[in-house]
Amino acid sequence: MDFFIASAYAQDAASSPNSMLSFLPLIVIFIVFYFLLIRPQTKRAKEHRQLVEKLATGDEVVTNGGVLGKITHVGDSFVTLELAENVKIKLQKQAVASVVPKGTMKSA
């Protein structure tokens, strides 16, 4: 009877490394997600934050909605955008998608 108990303990000790190997695919998947999804997203968010901080009067920008305009006033949270002569809108700074080269409005 003692023989069966001893062999049962031996089997438990041998199966311990296999449980550690079962976590390896999960760790590899997390590493892949980090480099393919999380890291690029945080990089884009950082670049957008820097773009919003550097907005200045006279910059020509495109909003998230695709509206092209020229910044006439920059506040803490909002910018005033001139779309055409005497046509101005006020929008959040975060709604600015990109800054375009000066003169883009005239050529559009």
* pTM of the model as a whole: 0.70
Measure the CA–CA gap between 97 and 81, rounded to whole angstroms.
13
Shared-domain flag, residues 45 and 66: no
Shared-domain flag, residues 46 and 65: no
In a 13 Å sphere around the CA of 84, the CA atoms on its Cβ side amount to 1
For 7-66, write each residue's pLDDT tens digit.
555 555 555 567 778 888 899 999 999 999 999 999 999 999 999 999 999 999 999 999
Shared-domain flag, residues 84 and 101: yes
Shared-domain flag, residues 45 and 80: no
Closest to 59 measured CA to CA, from 71, 74, 77: 71
Average pLDDT over residues 91-101: 95
**Structure-model confidence comparison of residues 47 and 1, the more confident one:** 47
Number of domains in the chain: 2
Range of the domain at 47: 1-53
